[in-house]
Copies of this chain bind each other. A is one copy, B any other.
Amino acid sequence: MTVEIICVGTELLLGSIVNTNAAYLAEQCAGLGLSCYYQSVVGDNRERLAELIKTAAARSDILLISGGLGPTQDDLTKETVAEAFGLSLTEDENTRRRIAQYFEKRGMELTDNNWKQAQVPEGCLVLDNENGTAPGMIVKSGERHIVLMPGPPGELCPMFESKVRPYLEKLEPGVILSQTVKIYGVSESLVETKIEDLLAGQKNPTIAPYARLGEVHLRVTAKAADEKEAKKLIKPVVRELKARFGGDVYSTDADTTLEKSVVDLLLAANLTVTTAESCTGGMLASRLINVAGISEIYKSGYVTYSNKAKRHMLGVKKTTLTKYGAVSEKVAGEMAKGAALFTKSDVAVAVTGIAGPDGGTKEKPVGLVYISCQVCGKLTVKEYRFSGERRKIRESATACALMQLRRCLLEYCGTKTFGKDKG
Contact = CB atoms under 8 A, between A and B. Distances in A.
B154 A392 contact: yes
30 contacts: A12-B22, A12-B26, A15-B23, A15-B28, A15-B210, A16-B211, A19-B23, A22-B41, A37-B43, A37-B48, A38-B41, A39-B41, A40-B41, A55-B55, A70-B188, A71-B192, A74-B208, A105-B387, A109-B187, A111-B189, A111-B193, A114-B189, A282-B285, A283-B289, A286-B286, A290-B391, A292-B356, A294-B305, A300-B306, A303-B303
Interface in A80-119: 102-103, 105-109, 111-114
A190 B112 CA distance: 9
Interface stretch (A233-241, A273-281, A330-338): A273-281
Nearest to A384: B106
Interface in A23-44: 23-30, 36-43
Given A15-B27, A40-B39, A111-B189, A299 B289 contact: no
Nearest to A283: B286
Nearest to A310: B300
B282 A305 contact: no
B213 A154 contact: yes
Contacts of A39: 12-13, 19, 40-41
Interface residues of A, number: 116
A309 B158 CA distance: 33
Given A40-B40, A113-B189, A283-B286, A16 B303 contact: no
Interface in A184-222: 187-190, 192-193, 196, 199, 208-211, 213, 219, 221
Find the residue from A188, A289, A304 having the highest chain B CB count within 10 A. A289
Contacts of A289: 279-283, 303, 305, 355, 394
Contacts of A158: 388-389
B388 A131 contact: yes
A216 B72 CA distance: 12
Given A277-B282, A389-B130, A37 B27 contact: no
A210 B11 contact: yes
A356 B294 CA distance: 11
B290 A300 contact: no
Nearest to A30: B14
Contacts of A16: 27, 208-211, 219
Interface string A392-418: 101100000000000000000000000
Contacts of A30: 14-15
A131 B290 CA distance: 26
Contacts of A301: 281-282, 302-303, 305
Interface string A110-137: 0111100000000000000011000000
Nearest to A154: B392
Contact of A37 (B13, B178, B213): B13
A156 to B, nearest CB: 13
A390 interface: yes
B26 A71 contact: no
Interface centre among A45, A209, A394, by most chain B C-beta atoms within 10 angstroms, is: A209
Given A39-B13, A40-B39, A208-B11, A72 B285 contact: no
Q: Which 7 A-B pairs have the closest CB atoms?
A: A282-B282, A15-B27, A15-B26, A281-B289, A282-B285, A300-B309, A301-B303
Contact of A392 (B131, B189, B190, B199): B131
